[in-house]
Amino acid sequence: MNGLQQPARGTVNGEASARILDSLPHPVIQVGPDGAIVAANMAAENFFGASAAVLKRHPISYFVPFGSPLLALIDQVRERGAPVNEYKVDVGSPRIGADRIVDINAAPVTDQQGAVVLMFQERGMAEKIDRQLTSRGAARTVTGLAAMLAHEIKNPLSGIRGAAQLLEASSAEEDRPLTRLIMDEADRIVKLVDRMEVFSDERPIEREPVNIHVVLDHVKRLAESGFARNVRIIEEYDPSLPAVYANRDQLVQVFLNLVKNACESFAGRPDAEITLTTAFRPGIRLSVPGTSERVSLPLEFCVRDNGPGVPEDLMPHLFEPFITTKTNGSGLGLALVAKIIGDHGGVIECDSQAGRTVFRILMPAYVPQRETSNDRTD
C-alpha cells in the first residue's frame, strides 16, 4: 500500500495507478502529515459517502468522532514508522453513519514523511473472532453436558457392558456377535464422553517459554511416521521468532489435530501438501472482552493445505462442538483446539476455498515477568 499518492490521471502511469486503486474492494485513503486526505479510491468514496474531491477538502478528523481510535492509530504509525493493524474499531459518526465497525490496516508511506495509508475492512478478522467467542460459549455448554453424561451415561454403560460380557460367556456361538456389538458400542460411547470431559478441565495451565519450531518439528515427525506418510509437509519458519508462553503438550495436541484434519481431507490425492508457517506480526492486537485493554498477539502460526476446502455453510460453526463433515467424526477436535488456544489467550481462525485452507493461530509472545503468572490473557 505504500506510495498511494496518485499521479496525475492524464498520464499513462497515473491512469494505471488509478485503475488499480479503484479495483480494490476495500476503502483505501492516504492521509498527509497534516491529517488531510490526499487520495482515495472508489470504495472509499462509497464508504464515506463523498467524492474524492470532497474528501480531499477535509482532514480525516472531519469524518470520524472526536477522540476516535483511528486518529490515535495514525499517530502510532507515524511514531513507530511501521504498519499497525486494529480490529473491531468503531469509526461511526453522523457524517458517515452509525455503527461502522471495521478492521483497519495502517502503514507509513516510505517516501513521504508523516503520510499514512489506511485500508478499512468492514468484514474481517473481528467477525471471525466474534464467531470464535460464540464457539467458546458453546464449548462451555459442553462442559456442563460432559459432567452430566459422565454420571447419567458412563455409570449405566458400565453395567450394560458387564451384563453383555456375562451373556457372551453363556450364549450360543451365533449370538456372540450381538453381545460383542453391545460391548463395542458401550466402549465407543464411553470414549466420546471421556473426550467431552476435557472441556470441563478448568485447572490453571502450566506454561513456560516454548520454542514453537521444536513443537512443529515434533508434530511433523509424528505425522510423517503415520497418517501423513504420503503427504508432503513444507516448513516456512521465521528463525528469529521469540518463544511463546504456552503448555508444550497442549500445543502439540493442537497442531497434530490440525495436520491430521488436513490429511483426512485429501482422500488419497497424490499431490497432497501441507505447509507449516511461523511469523512475527507486531501490529496485531485484540480487544479483551470485559475490559478496555488491547492485547498484543504478535506470534502467527499457520497450517495451510491444498485440499478441497471447508464447505461454506460450515464455516460460521467450524469451532463449535459436534460440527463435522466426517462420517464417523465426533466434531470435538476443532472445538478442543479453539478451547486450548483460547485458554492461552490467543485466537484461531480459518480461511478456506477450494485448493487452499489456512488455519491461522495468533498468540502472545513470552515476556519474562509472566513466568509466575497464570493470567489467561497474559
All cell numbers assigned to 227 = 497418517
Q: Which of 82-91, 150-159, 231-240 has the highest mean pLDDT?
A: 231-240
pLDDT score at 145: 59
CA distance 375 to 279: 24
- Tell me if 138 sits within 8 A of 31, measured CB to CB: no
Q: What is the DSSP letter of 369?
A: G
pLDDT on residue 345: 83
Helices (H), 27-124: 42-48, 52-55, 69-80
Report the interhelical angle of 248-266 vs 212-224 (nearest 10°). Answer: 40
Please tell me the least confidently modeled range out of 92-96, 98-102, 210-214: 98-102
Banded pLDDT at 196 (limits 50, 70, 90): low
Whether the per-residue pLDDT at 1 is higher than 50: the answer is no
Q: Could you give the percent of the chain with pLDDT greater than 90?
A: 26
**For residue 24, how many C-alpha atoms fall within 13 Å in the half-sphere facing its CB?**
21
What is the CATH class of 208-372?
alpha beta
pLDDT band, residue 317 (cuts 50/70/90): confident
Domain 12-123: give its CATH architecture. Answer: 2-Layer Sandwich (3.30)
- Whether 9 shows a pLDDT value over 50: the answer reads no
**Confidence grade of residue 371 (pLDDT, cut at 50, 70, 90):** very low
Q: Which residue has the higher pLDDT, 212 or 97?
A: 212
Quick one: which H or E segment has residue 335? helix 333-343
In angstroms, the first-to-last Cα distance of the chain is: 32
Burial 212-239 (b: 16+ CB within 10 A, else e): bbebbeebbebbeeeebeebebeeeeee
pLDDT beyond 80 at 152 = no
Among 104, 156, 120, which residue's Cα sits nearest to residue 44? 120
Q: Report DSSP letters for 177-216, one per residue.
A: HHHHHHHHHHHHHHHHHHHHHGGG--SPP--EEE-HHHHH
Residue 199 burial (CB < 10 Å; 0-12/13-18/19+)? buried
pLDDT for 182 equals 86
Report the length, in residues, of the chain: 378
- Taking the C-alpha atoms of residue 371 and residue 105, their distance in angstroms, rounded to an integer, is 32
- Give the pLDDT band (50/70/90) at residue 195: low
Give CA separation, 158 vs 68, 148, 259, 314, 368, in Å. Answer: 61, 16, 34, 35, 48
The structural domains of the chain, with segments of one domain joined by +, span 12-123, 127-200, 208-372
pLDDT for 377 beyond 50: no
Residue 120 CA to chain centroid, in angstroms? 19
Tell me, what's the pLDDT at 305?
A: 95
Residue 110 clears pLDDT 90, i.e. is over it: no
Q: Of 43, 42, 96, which Cα lies nearest the Cα of 70? A: 96
Q: Poorest-confidence range of 52-66, 126-140, 254-268?
A: 126-140
Predicted confidence (pLDDT) per residue in 15-64, tens digit: 666 677 777 778 999 999 999 999 999 888 888 888 889 999 999 999 98
Which of 88-92, 162-166, 372-376 has the lowest average pLDDT?
Answer: 372-376
* Least confident segment among 1-10, 17-26, 47-56, 338-347: 1-10
Least confident of 10-24, 164-178, 202-216: 10-24
Average pLDDT over residues 6-11: 44
56, burial (CB in 10 Å: exposed 0-12, middle 13-18, buried 19+): middle
The predicted model gives 221-236 an average pLDDT of 92
| Residue 96: pLDDT band with limits 50, 70, 90 | confident
> Rounded to the nearest 5 degrees, what angle is found at the Cα of 298, between the Cα atoms of 293 and 299?
130
Tell me the C-alpha distance between 14 and 7, whole Å.
Answer: 4
Q: What are the C-alpha distances in Å from 178 to residues 34, 80, 278? A: 81, 71, 51
From 2-16, 46-60, 117-131, the region with the lowest mean pLDDT: 2-16
Q: Find the mean pLDDT for residues 318-347.
A: 73
How much is the pLDDT for 174?
Answer: 84
Contact by Cβ (8 Å): 280, 298: yes
Q: Once rounded to an integer, what is the mean pLDDT over residues 89-101?
A: 77
Write the CA distances from 135 to 130, 349, 370, integer angstroms: 9, 11, 27
